[in-house]
Amino acid sequence: MFFTHHPNWRTQALDLVPVGLVFQTVRPGAPRPEPPPLPEALDGERDPRVPKDYLTRNLIGEFHYMKGVTAEARDWPTTWREFEEATRASS
């Protein structure tokens, strides 16, 4: 089962694991799924012709936030960079 946002529930029967842009449910102790490859940036993210209105900034921020959360367990420097990018994009 996949979630686009963390459902904020806890159950001993399932763990929620960030996998790319979604959260996946897995049994506790099961191997963690490999995240899919994601682009460095979204199409148009760095294009000055694309308007950066409130919704666009938040979508870009969410993209980088999920990339950071997914990398957290294995690559802290990448996590930090993605969180900084998420903050910058959504400001």
3-state DSSP assignment of residue 15? strand
pLDDT at position 61: 95
Residues 25-74 pLDDT 10s: 999 999 989 999 999 999 999 999 999 999 999 999 999 999 999 999 88
Token pair for 22: 């979604």
Give the pLDDT band (50/70/90) at residue 6: confident
pTM of the model: 0.86
